[in-house]
Amino acid sequence: MHDRFTEILRKKLSGDNYAKLMRLANRKLHRLIADAVELCEPASVFVSTDDPEDIRYIREKAVETGEEKRLAMAGHTCHFDGPNDQGRDKEVTKYLLKPGVDLGTHINATDREKGLAEVRGYLKGSMTGRQMIVRFFTLGPTRSVFSISGVQMTDSFYVAHSEDLLYRPGYEQFRALGDSPEYICVLHSAGRLVDGVSADVDRKRVYIDLEDEEVYSVNTQYAGNTVGFKKLSLRLAIRKADREGWLSEHMLLVGIRGPKGRITYFTGAFPSGCGKTATAMLPDETIVGDDLAYLRKIDGEVRAVNVECGIFGIIRDVNPHDDPVIWDALTKPGEVIFSNVLIQDGKSYWEGSGQDIPEEGVNYAGTWRRGKKNDNGKELAPSHWNARYTIRLEGLPNLDKHLDDPDGVVVGGIIYGGRDSDTWVPVQQSFDWIHGVVTMGASLESETTLATLGKPGIRAFQPMSNLDFVSIPLGRYVRNHLDFPGDITKPPLIFAANYYLKGKDGKYLNGMTDKHVWMKWMERRVHGEVDCARTPTGCIPLLDDLKRLFKEVLGKEYTREEYSSQFTLRTLENLSKLDRIEKIWRTEVSDTPEVLFEVLAEQRKRLEKTRSKFGDYVPPFEFAPG
Ligand code: SPV
Ligand code: MN
């Protein structure tokens, strides 16, 4: 058997590429690559090691093939995805399941045999005339209990280049793997290209084969659908975590400074486009990661690492005031890939930058000038809402020194936050771990954004901000969270945050920089240094502490009126939310742990009691110290 694969590889791979591959004595790898070669029929194969020369080749090819255009500033390039390829496409992203396997209604799945035939059919001959790139990565720090290995095959130099910024090199780790079959494999082809973009959008597919732990992606270029080690491997990592008793989460990881040089680490789960990167990149704090975290129990503590080592962030609204660190990284020389922004005279422009946008330029839809309409007669914005930048964390002034620490960092707190205009207060702490998992993580809702294709602004159930990626039954996923701390005596505190609360006039009640104050408050809570008031939904900050922190962090006066409007408990909205959440867990999920309903019922009782005593809207001053 093995000889047939070796034969295919020997025929297709040039001497040095063949040698680079054969240095990895892994039979499954040889089989996978030979299979991909036979299926996709590339003109040649480039095997990348961790050698800077190999990586330079990929970077240059991305420009040579036209997938990226060089911009005026050194190191900056721009890539465009097609007009129908501007976000993760949930409709066509499916798990391939064998007959009899049922993961529940929230999981988009299809029959494995049928799905494989379909996607492999689309991949057939897809790389004709192009080169296939094979790249190896390590998810999480190398030489660590957290590390997972991954191999990507792609015909896109943009994808391969992006991965170079986003993931730690893994060729050497693959050598150490020997013949082990324990790694994630992603096969991607951009498919037929017209003007450089994937043309067969109706044949776009992202299929995840749970049986062989292999991901197939075809007829798409958007990084969320193609960069294998972002959301594609997250789905497989969730299964591995389930088997092994740890957590694989859609979470940032940030260090927040406290008094006397102390740094306390937080993970934060926010759905896409809801302030996750901005929280991870707060000025004067330290970033470990902005999107994906693995959490494990080690020696009686919860520790976490960043799966990645770069940022693929939304660029809209990045401006010197709200995101000074990102702004700085994007406006000076260095390796940056912009995607789906507006380009004019070799310079990139995006909405919400606070800078003047030229009247014309080039964007993902071609030549653009103000007033240009799309096919539906709607005016085209200069840059897409989900336009992005890709950078390395390395070199950022706020990079945490533990990014590559094989032991990760100790997690002091976990934050759940969504885009919620009318229910949650800006920040609150759960009463305990179970209360936090149930009423914050498992009850998270968020208004949809354009990070995924579809209509924005619709309130959607988003447990742990991870719903799109959960690959095990949902009840089991929550059970894993409930059980996670086990015998740990001091698990991380759990908080809920809401940066998007609006007043009666429909205006946001908070500025975007206020999140910094909430983070500092949480940091003090982890160390028991500030008190709180106990409301039916959680513990909220006291006015005096916020006054002091607003002054210290933002140099701002914080008034009693602001506190009152932001922290008024909206009992009606909270009760409606409980109705919605309970209904979903009761009617749409078949394996919900019973304790979830008990904890929701207790919350309902507290809310009703408070409502009958104080009315529908209860100012924070009514609540006793907690
Ligand atoms: C997100 O949408 O959550 C992202 C970008 O982080 S991606 O998943 O890669 O589309
Ligand atoms: Mn994300």
Confidence check: pLDDT of 12 > 60: yes
* Domain membership of residue 370 as a residue range: 312-392
Q: What is the structure's pLDDT at 1?
A: 47
- Indicate which CATH number applies to the domain containing 385: 2.170.8.10
Same domain, 6 and 138: yes
Q: Does the model's pTM come out above 0.95?
A: yes
Q: What is the pLDDT of residues 282-332, one digit of tens each?
A: 999 999 999 999 999 999 999 999 999 999 999 999 999 989 999 999 999
**Is ligand 1 within 6 A of the CB of residue 88?**
yes
Three-class SS state of 308 = coil
Q: Rounded to whole angstroms, how far apart are CA atoms 137 and 18?
A: 19
Same domain, 452 and 581: yes
Which residues, 6 or more positions from 11, have their beta carbon under 8 angstroms from its beta carbon?
Answer: none
- How crowded is the C-beta side of 481, counted as CA atoms within 13 Å? 31
**Among the options 274, 309, 532, 539, which is catalytic?**
274
Whether 238 is in a domain gets the answer no
Report which bound ligand comes closest to the CA of 228.
1
Average pLDDT on 168-191 reads 96
Give the nearest ligand 1 atom to 87 CA. 10
Same domain, 140 and 287: no
Last residue of a domain, one of 229, 261, 282: 229
Beta-bridge mates of residue 576: none
309: annotated active-site residue:
no
Q: What is the pLDDT of residues 44-88, one digit of tens each?
A: 999 999 999 999 999 999 999 999 999 999 999 999 999 999 999
C-alpha 250 – ligand 2 centre gap (Å): 6
C-alpha 452 – ligand 1 centre gap (Å): 8
Which residues, 6 or more positions from 72, have their beta carbon under 8 angstroms from its beta carbon?
Answer: 345, 346, 347
Confidence check: pLDDT of 577 > 80: yes
- Indicate which CATH number applies to the domain containing 489: 3.90.228.20
Q: What is the structure's pLDDT at 552?
A: 98
Report which bound ligand comes closest to the CA of 449.
1
Same domain, 384 and 426: no
Q: Rounded to whole angstroms, how far apart are CA atoms 394 and 143?
A: 19
DSSP letter (8 states) at residue 440? I
Whether 549 is in a domain gets the answer yes
**Is ligand 1 within 6 A of the CB of residue 290?**
no
Which residues, 6 or more positions from 490, have their beta carbon under 8 angstroms from its beta carbon?
Answer: none
Q: Rounded to whole angstroms, how far apart are CA atoms 494 and 486?
A: 16
**Is ligand 1 within 6 A of the CB of residue 308?**
no
Q: What is the pLDDT of residues 92-128, one digit of tens each?
A: 999 999 999 999 999 999 999 999 999 999 999 999 9
Same domain, 509 and 579: yes
**Is ligand 1 within 6 A of the CB of residue 230?**
yes
Whether 136 is in a domain gets the answer yes
Average pLDDT on 441-446 reads 98
Q: What is the pLDDT of residues 587-619, one digit of tens each?
A: 999 999 999 999 999 999 999 999 999 999 999
Three-class SS state of 341 = coil
Split into its structural domains, the chain has a count of: 3
Q: What is the structure's pLDDT at 450?
A: 86
**Is ligand 1 within 6 A of the CB of residue 288?**
no
- Give the model's confidence band at 375: pLDDT under 50 very low, under 70 low, under 90 confident, else very high: confident
- Indicate which CATH number applies to the domain containing 95: 3.40.449.10
Give the nearest ligand 1 atom to 451 CA. 2
Confidence check: pLDDT of 517 > 70: yes
